[in-house]
Amino acid sequence: MTSSLIARFPMRRLFSPLSQSFSPLPSSSLHSSPFSVTPSLSFSSLPSQPLSSSPSPLSLLTPNKHSSLLSIPPLSPLLAFPSRFSSSSSSSDGVVLDITSQNINGVMQEKGVLVLYCTAEWCGPCKKLGPKLEEDVRALPGVRLGKIDIDKEQQLAGAMRIQSIPAVFAFNDGKLINSFVGVPPDEKYQEFLAGLREHTAAETSETGINAEQMLKEADENLESGNVEEAAKIYSEVFGNYDSKDDDLFGALSLSGLIQCIIKQGEVEAAKTLVSNLKSKYKGCLEHPSVHAALSSFDLMSSTSSSSHTIEELEAVVSENPNKMEEKFELAKLYFASNRPEESIKTLIDMVKRDKHWQENAAKEQLLKIFEVLGPTHALTISGRQKLTSVWF
C-alpha cells in the first residue's frame, strides 16, 4: 500500500456528516465496555499482512482477482482466481470477512466495494443490524462485508476513532463513499444499499466485460480441445463478473474451469472447485452446464480408485461377456481415458444383457455421459437412439 489508510480518508471526517445523512436509533456506548479510544493511532502504524498464495492445487481460490496467479498443473499458462471464496482475512466464503489490524491494509487494497461493520458481542443494536446487513451484502454482487470486533481489535477501532456502535463504513476501491452509526430508519438504510448498487454497477460498466459472450467463446474453445485458452477465459469471467446474473455467471465460469481441470486429468484438484460450486451456487446446480460439470466430475472421480487397467478388464470381458462388474468398470475407464465411443458401446451391450442390473446402473451411466458430451454431440445422438431401441 503506497499510502496509509488514514491519509486516504481523514478519520476526523468520518463522523461529522453522520447526523446530517442519517437519524441513528439509540446505539450502545463504548463507555460501557473495556474498549479504549486511541485517537492518535493511524493505520500506517498497524502491522500489515500481504496476500499469500499456495502452490497446492487444493488451494486454488486463495489469490486476489487483481493480483496473484496460481498454476494448476499441468495447465499453462497460469489461471487467475479471485477472492470470491477466500481472502487475506479469515473468512468462510470471501464475502463476509473477519477484519483485524493485521489484514486491514491487504483487504483495503483490493478493488471493489467493501463495507466495514464495527460491532461487539455485548452490543444490542448490533444483534439487530448485523444479520440483516450480512444478508443484504450477500445479495449484492461484488460487495464484501468486513466485520471488526472492537473488543478484539481495540487498536484498529482506536485508529478509526469509533465512538459508538454499530458503526458502518462503505468504501469503493479503498475510498470512503458512505457511513452511518446506529440502526438507521429503513428508508435511510435502503438508500445506503442503493448507493452500494450504484458503485458496483459503475464498476461493471468500466470493466466492460460481456460475460455471456466470453462464456460462449470459452465453451467453443473447450469443445474444440483448446483447454488452456478456455481456462483463461473462464477464469477471467469468474474474476470480473458483476451483474444481476452474478450467481449464474459465477457458476457457469466455475463449472467451465472444473471441466478444463478434469480434461487435464487433475481430478483431485477439481475437488476444491466442486466443493465451492456446490456451497456458493446452490441455486444454479440444476443448470444444464453446471450439472454437466458435476456429472463429469462424478464420472472421472469414480475411476480414480480402480485397481485394474483397461487391458486387464478387456481380457476378462472378452473371455466372459457376462462379467457385468468388470464390464461396468471397463466402460468407466474408457470414458476417463477419453474414449467415450467405446464406453457407450460397452454400456449399451450391458443394457442389452441385463438392463436392470444394479438398479439400471448402465443406463444411468449412459445418461451422465450424454449430459457431459452435450445434446448435440454426435455420440449423444446416436447413443440415445441405441439406448431407446434396446430399452423399450
Query: Is the pLDDT higher at 268 or at 24?
Result: 268
Instruction: Please name the amino acid found at residue 337.
Output: S
CATH class held by domain 5-51+87-207: alpha beta
Q: What are phi and psi of 174, to 5 degrees?
A: 85, 0
According to the model, what pLDDT value does residue 381 have? 93
CA–CA distance, 385 with 317 (Å, rounded to integer)? 25
**Mean pLDDT, residues 307-318 taken together:** 90
Sheet holding 113-119, edge to edge: 96-98, 143-149, 113-119, 167-172, 175-181
**Is 126 designated active site?**
yes
**Is 123 designated active site?**
yes
**Predicted confidence (pLDDT) at residue 328 exceeds the cutoff of 60:** yes
- pTM > 0.85: yes or no: no
CA–CA distance, 84 with 238 (Å, rounded to integer)? 9
Q: Tell me where in the chain the CATH 1.25.40.10 domain(s) lie.
A: 310-391
**Predicted confidence (pLDDT) at residue 156 exceeds the cutoff of 60:** yes
211-285: CATH number: 1.25.40
**Predicted confidence (pLDDT) at residue 7 exceeds the cutoff of 60:** no
Tell me the CATH architecture of domain 310-391: Alpha Horseshoe (1.25)
Residue 306 pLDDT class (50, 70, 90 cuts): low
**Mean pLDDT, residues 125-143 taken together:** 88
Share of the chain above pLDDT 90, in %: 33
CA–CA distance, 267 with 301 (Å, rounded to integer)? 6
pLDDT digit string (tens) for 196-218? 888 776 555 455 457 778 888 99
Scan for cell 471397463, then name that residue.
330
Using alpha carbons, list the distances in angstroms from residue 128 to 166, 167, 240. 10, 13, 33
Contact 164, 29 (CB under 8 A): yes
pLDDT digit string (tens) for 79-118? 334 444 433 444 445 578 899 999 998 888 887 889 999 9
According to the model, what pLDDT value does residue 209 have? 56
Q: Which of 157-171, 199-213, 287-301, 374-388 has the lowest mean pLDDT?
A: 199-213
Instruction: Please name the amino acid found at residue 325.
Output: E
Residue 28 pLDDT class (50, 70, 90 cuts): very low
According to the model, what pLDDT value does residue 203 have? 56
**Predicted confidence (pLDDT) at residue 268 exceeds the cutoff of 70:** yes
CA–CA distance, 41 with 43 (Å, rounded to integer)? 7
**Mean pLDDT, residues 180-196 taken together:** 92
Looking at mean pLDDT, say which of 20-29, 198-207, 267-276, 298-307 comes out highest. 267-276
**Predicted confidence (pLDDT) at residue 40 exceeds the cutoff of 80:** no
**Predicted confidence (pLDDT) at residue 52 exceeds the cutoff of 50:** no
**Mean pLDDT, residues 294-307 taken together:** 79
CA–CA distance, 120 with 161 (Å, rounded to integer)? 15
Residue 305 pLDDT class (50, 70, 90 cuts): low
Q: What is the mean pLDDT of the chain?
A: 74
**Predicted confidence (pLDDT) at residue 384 exceeds the cutoff of 80:** yes
Q: Where are the beta strands (DSSP E) in the chain?
A: 28-29, 96-98, 113-119, 143-149, 164-165, 167-172, 175-181
Contact 46, 156 (CB under 8 A): yes
The catalytic residue among 118, 126, 260, 284 is 126
Q: Which of 23-32, 112-121, 136-145, 366-375 has the lowest mean pLDDT?
A: 23-32
Q: Tell me where in the chain the CATH 3.40.30.10 domain(s) lie.
A: 5-51+87-207
The catalytic residue among 118, 123, 260, 284 is 123
Contact 200, 143 (CB under 8 A): yes
Share of the chain above pLDDT 70, in %: 71
